[in-house]
Homo-oligomer: A and B are copies of this chain.
Amino acid sequence: MVGLALLLPVGTGLRPLAAQIAQEKPVKVPAYTADGRMLFPADYRQWIFLSSGVDMSYGPGAGTGHTMFDNVFVNPEAYKAFLETGTWPDKTVLVLEVRGGESKGSINKNGHYQNSDMMGVEAHVKDERFRGRWAFFAFDDAVSAKEVPHEASCYTCHEQHAAVDTTFVQFYPTLLEIAKNKGTLSPAYLKGEAVAAEPAGDSKKPN
């Protein structure tokens, strides 16, 4: 649920990962190389699942023609902190995994299920070392990734539209309720919701 259109890597280095990511031992996250690349958070499939979407996009485009799922996970330490505070602590790592979808297979006749075709893994990381405290990383392989430059549109989009602390909690149903209860929804998100809730035509009413 980060800037897919901009960031989606070809991901050929990610394709043989299915069984490997299922079995990874816990690693400390986030971790970086000496030159500031983020190490691939190898065990993310054993983190806390936040939600899944299908063919989501934020622009008017009609998509890629392929069905794609996105699964979002967060490291358990950050999840626990969110439950208590309604927002994210330092060292939060959200992972967006993009996977192919299939319709006809085995006994399935309708809709779509996820397959082993890994189309991308992106991380959104909160760490005081970054300008603005958050950074994006798009992995082309299961080793490491460079920080996405802060001029990229994903940063401004998340700042302007995300429900909590630049993250799209509006698409994570179990967390959205907690953020509402804790009063941590962003002013920008609340303003957008208020505009969306106005009856159509209200802006044209005379006085």
Residue from A51, A56, A106, A175 having most chain B Cβ neighbours under 10 A: A106
The answer to whether B53 touches A178, judged by C-beta atoms less than 8 angstroms apart, is: no
Considering the complex, give the chain B residue whose CB is closest to the CB of A178: B19
A174 and B109 within 8 A (CB): no
Interface residues on A, range: 35 or more
| B54 and A112 within 8 A (CB) | yes
Closest B residue to A100 by beta carbon equals B173
Beta-carbon contact of B105 and A170 below 8 Å:
yes
B57 touches A18 (CB 8 A): no
A112–B178 contact, CB under 8 A?
Answer: no
On A, residues with C-beta under 8 Å from B are 18-19, 21-23, 45-46, 48-49, 51-63, 69, 71, 73, 76, 79, 83, 99, 101, 105-116, 157, 161, 163, 168, 170-171, 173-178, 181, 189, 192
Separation in Å of the A136 CB from the closest CB of chain B? Answer: 17
For A18, give its contact among B56, B60, B110, B177 (CB under 8 Å): B177
Which B-chain residue is minimally distant from A116 (CB atoms)? B173
Judge whether B71 and A110 touch: CB under 8 Å.
no
Q: Is the CB of A113 within 8 A of B53?
A: yes
Chain B residues within an 8 Å CB radius of A176: 18, 116
Say how far A200's CB is from chain B's closest CB, in angstroms. 14
